[in-house]
Amino acid sequence: MPYPEEGLPHQVTIYEVGPRDGLQNESAIVPVEVKAEFIDRLADAGHKVIEATSFVHPKWVPQLADAGELLGRLHRRPGVRYPVLVPNERGLDRALDLGVDEIAVFASATETFAAKNLNRSLESQFEMFEPVVARALDNGIKVRAYVSMCFGDPWEGPTPIGQVVAVGERLLGLGCYQLSLGDTIGVGTPGHVTALIDAFRRPERLAVHFHDTYGQALANTLAALRAGVTTVDASTGGIGGCPYAESATGNLATEDLVWMLRGLGIETGLDLGKLVSTSTWLAELLGRPSPSRVVQALSKG
Ligand code: HMG
Ligand code: MG
């Protein structure tokens, strides 16, 4: 029996990042056929947007070096979007060759993470993104943008809200349709989330991307929904992290999110049972249990 809360959206779009943000952080390379089956199972569970992989430098993220082969193996379903991460023009060329129709660029809100993750400065990262976004839009490709380290950075401490807004507004100004606010290392808390979203003054253009390192992801998501956000990134089974931020752990688990939203009477179109069986299947292949509390509770039988 749902207990709706006044002021919350009736529908939330879950942007599934498990195959990309989840698998990019696995120490063992997951075989390409397992990745393809994972994505297929996610679509079968009702996901309408599944971030499939990354066209980054294969030496930087060897876990996703099979991006091209994976796209060739996808059983694309009508009505399901399969965006990919693209950092630069080389990545865009690779994606264009394969007929990709939706990409995401990813910026840093801090100087240190721009250097560690992109080999660029805070300023020069834009020189990399600008031609990517312009050429993608010319080719009719939808572009999403991420900004990482929105709440804090392991090297620089708390990130000033004004700095996040400056980076984010610049990305939206390039023509990105949506800005996903990344709490890469999971240090944000609900009041901080509200303050950041309010500082942007246009929640309808924002998504939130919480890593659950400090157990704050669900509370932060509720704060974001109350502030007017209706797109939430999550990874089935709660797998994930960023190889260039050691303190990053898994994303908010899709199952934990669906449980909360269902309780609030918010529509997601996802089949929780199918998500849980996908996560238990994947956990067995990865050799460790899913960190999701909902997966743990529901898979006990
Ligand atoms: P760089 O070394 O500065 O690259 O790396 P470069 O532009 O100097 O090029 C060097 C060589 O790499 C050239 O080859 C390029 O062609 C090649 P050469 O001419 O010397 O033979 N190259 C490429 N090859 C294949 N694909 C490419 C590519 N680009 C260059 N795309 C670069 C710069 C951006 C490439 C590198 O830093 C990189 O790949 N970084 C990606 C790191 C990453 O993927 N991190 C994880 C994703 S971000 C994340 O997880 C956070 C998020 O989840 C949100 C959150 O949680 O906050 C999104
Ligand atoms: Mg992430």
73-84 per-residue burial string, b: 16 or more CB within 10 A, e: under 16: ebeeeeebbbbb
In the structure, what pLDDT confidence band is assigned to residue 103 with cuts at 50, 70 and 90?
A: very high
Does pLDDT of 301 surpass 70? no
For domain 13-299, say whether CATH 1.10.1040.20 is its number: no
Q: Where are the domains of the chain?
A: 13-299
Judge whether 150 counts as a catalytic residue: no
pLDDT tens string 51-76: 999 999 999 999 999 999 999 999 99
Helix (H) or strand (E) holding 108: strand 102-108
pLDDT score recorded for residue 242: 67
- Asked whether residue 137 carries a pLDDT value surpassing 70, the answer given is yes
- The confidence score (pLDDT) of residue 88 equals 98
Say yes or no: CB of residue 182 within 6 Å of ligand 1: yes
Q: How far is the CA of 128 from the centre of ligand 1 (A)?
A: 10
Task: Say what the pTM is.
Answer: 0.97
The answer on pLDDT for 203 being more than 80 is yes
157-183: pLDDT as tens digits: 999 999 999 999 999 999 999 999 999
Distance CA 238, CA 150 (A): 20
- 67-72's contacts with Cβ under 8 Å and 24+ in sequence apart are 67/94, 68/94, 68/98, 69/32, 70/32, 70/35, 70/36, 70/39, 71/98, 71/100, 72/98
Q: Return the ligand 1 atom nearest residue 106 CA.
A: 58
| pLDDT tens profile 67-101 | 999 999 999 999 999 999 999 999 999 999 999 99
Q: For residue 241, what pLDDT is reported?
A: 66
Instruction: Tell me, in angstroms, the distance from the centre of ligand 2 to residue 149's CA.
Output: 10
pLDDT band at 219 (very low <50, low <70, confident <90, very high): very high
The CA R_g of the chain, rounded to the nearest whole Å, is 18
Tell me the average pLDDT of the chain.
96
